[in-house]
C-alpha cells in the first residue's frame, strides 16, 4: 500500500524491504491494510487467521492490540523469531 517492494525468497517466504528494526510505528497505511485483510478474509470465507509478530520489535504489542480490536477472533502471537511460509 505504501509502494514498497515484496520479494519471494528461495525458501518460499515473502519479505519486504521495510527493515523495521527496533520500534514499530503506526503509519497511515496500518488501519486501511488491516481493514483490507479483514475484508478479504471475510469475502473468501476464511474464519481463522494467525498473525505472527516479531516481539523484539518495540511496540509490536500495540499492533497486536490494534489487530485484536479489528477482529477479536484473530489469533495474534508475539514471537522471538516469527516465520511462517506457505
Give residue 24's pLDDT band: very low, low, confident or very high (50, 70, 90): low
Identify whether the C-beta of residue 62 lies closer than 8 Å to the C-beta of residue 76: no
Write down the pLDDT at residue 66. Answer: 93
Neighbours of 67 (CB within 10 A): 20
Q: Domains of the chain: which residue ranges?
A: 6-16+28-79
pLDDT digits (tens, 9 = 90+) for 49-61: 888 888 877 788 8
Determine if the pTM surpasses 0.85: no
Averaged confidence pLDDT in the chain? 81
- Cell readout for 47 is 474464519
Return the pLDDT at 82: 72
- H helices of the chain, in order, are 30-44, 60-70
Please give the average per-residue pLDDT across 14-35, as a whole number.
Answer: 71
DSSP 12: S
Residue 35: helix, strand or coil by DSSP? Answer: helix
Amino acid at each position: 500500500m505504501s509502494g514498497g517492494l515484496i520479494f519471494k525468497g528461495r525458501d518460499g517466504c515473502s519479505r519486504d524491504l521495510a527493515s523495521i528494526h527496533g520500534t514499530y510505528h503506526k503509519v497511515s497505511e496500518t488501519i486501511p491494510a488491516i481493514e483490507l485483510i479483514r475484508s478479504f478474509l471475510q469475502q473468501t470465507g476464511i474464519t481463522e487467521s494467525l498473525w505472527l509478530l516479531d516481539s523484539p520489535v518495540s511496540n509490536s504489542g500495540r499492533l497486536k492490540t490494534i489487530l485484536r480490536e479489528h477482529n477479536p477472533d484473530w489469533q495474534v502471537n508475539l514471537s522471538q523469531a516469527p516465520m511462517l511460509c506457505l
